[in-house]
Amino acid sequence: MEPVTDDPGHALLTGSSANLRRRRRTERLLAGVAVAAALLAVGVLALVISSVAIKGASALSLDFFTQARPLFGGVGGIADALVGTVLIVGVATLIALPVGVLVAIYLSEFASPRVAFGLRLVLDVLNGVPAIVVGIFVFGLIVTGHGQSGLAGSFALAILMLPMIARATQEILRLVPPGLREASLALGASRWRTVVSVVLPSTVGGILTGTVLAVARVAGETAPLLFTSSIAANAISTDVTHALPSLPVAIFTFSESADPADHAMAWAAGLVLVAFVLVTSMAAKSLSARARRSIQPD
């Protein structure tokens, strides 16, 4: 709908076309600012991704994915960090997923409104705890005394994932039509039975996409791993009871180095990480739209 100001009669009525011109100018100026801001954001994204892609692509090769990092210079890959990241994030997901889903079920199916409000607040605040503080927490809780380990890193990442998974699950549980629950309860099923066999099956897709999004977010987290699983040998290892190398920590140490060869490695590893994170989060977003539609066909 066009504003009335485009009508010349309006200027006649108010009798001040200078005023009208000024208003139009402001209108155009601010529209221009808004467009420029949007272009700027998209431009920065393009700039960052293209520099990572251009500078990272040249170092990519098969060896880059299959070899461990060299001990003293020389050529090598990041296979050790890839394996470590997959393990750390995998274990973190195994911890966070069941707890997160349970919290969400309690939140949306059992809690009274007052308790639910408090619990949501706690989850949101937990979501806002800086990752580096979570790392320090796990450092104090597990690492002092037991030393760094992949498990400690997983635990730190799981703390970050928990509120994300719980909130995503709770949002999707809210979309389940109440009629479905009531039908099940009316047939004499207990509340748990209703949750397990009626509510949860219809939300599996939504829970999965929420989890994938959380994985994409924490796979790139460096801060929680610095104090929990950073001082590791550059060798491929699957022993989670010892410190494991990881992709983000590798990029961090490469980027802090003064050696240009390390910078090349950092760009290449960054490209791998960015590609993984962007592809998974885009896939999860498009899946989540589908999951929502399958629950609430409109």
Rounded CA gap, 100 and 188, in Å? 28
Closest CA to 198 of 295, 273, 69: 295
HSE-CB at 107 with a 13 A cutoff on CA atoms is 25
- CA-CA distance, 220 to 97, in Å (whole number)? 18
Instruction: Give me the least distance between CB of 49 and another protein, in Å please.
Output: 8
d(CA 116, CA 110): 9
Residue 147 tokens read as 């030393």
194 touches another protein by CB under 8 A:
no
Q: How far is the CB of 187 from another protein (least distance, A)?
A: 26
Stretch that binds another protein, among 65-73, 178-186, 197-205, 265-273 (CB under 8 A): 265-273
Q: Would you put residue 16 in left (φ > 0), alpha (ψ -120 to 50) or beta?
A: beta
**Chosen residue from 181, 217, 242, 292 binding another protein by CB under 8 A:** 217
220 binds another protein (CB under 8 A): yes
Distance CA 79, CA 61 (A): 12
Cβ-based nearer residue to another protein, 98 or 147: 98
* DSSP state string for 230-296: -S--SS----TTS----HHHHHHHHHH-S-HHHHHHHHHHHHHHHHHHHHHHHHHHHHHHHHHHHHS
Contact with another protein (CB under 8 A) among 168, 176, 251, 291: 251
How many residues bind to another protein according to rule CB under 8 A? 87
Mark the segment that binds another protein (CB under 8 A) among 67-75, 83-91, 186-194, 222-230.
222-230
Give the range of 59-67, 122-130, 174-182, 197-205 binding another protein by CB under 8 A: 122-130
Q: Which span (59-67, 124-132, 173-181, 199-207) binds another protein, by CB under 8 A?
A: 124-132
Binding to another protein, residues 89-118 (CB under 8 A) = 98-103, 105-107, 111, 117
Pair 271, 52: CB distance under 8 Å = yes
Residue 88 makes contact with another protein by CB under 8 A: no
Stretch 137-166: interaction string toward another protein, x if CB under 8 A: x--xx-----------------x--xx--x
Does residue 125 belong to the site contacting another protein (CB under 8 A)?
yes
26-55: contacts with another protein (CB under 8 A): 26-27, 30-31, 33-38, 40-42, 44-45, 48-49, 51-52
- Alpha carbon distance 20, 91 (integer Å): 64
C-alpha 283, offset from chain centre: 12
Q: How far is the CB of 183 from another protein (least distance, A)?
A: 26
79 or 131, CB closer to another protein?
A: 131
CB count in 10 Å sphere of residue 216:
20
* CA count, 13 A, side-chain hemisphere, 229: 30
For another protein, which stretch binds (CB under 8 A), given 65-73, 81-89, 127-135, 193-201?
127-135
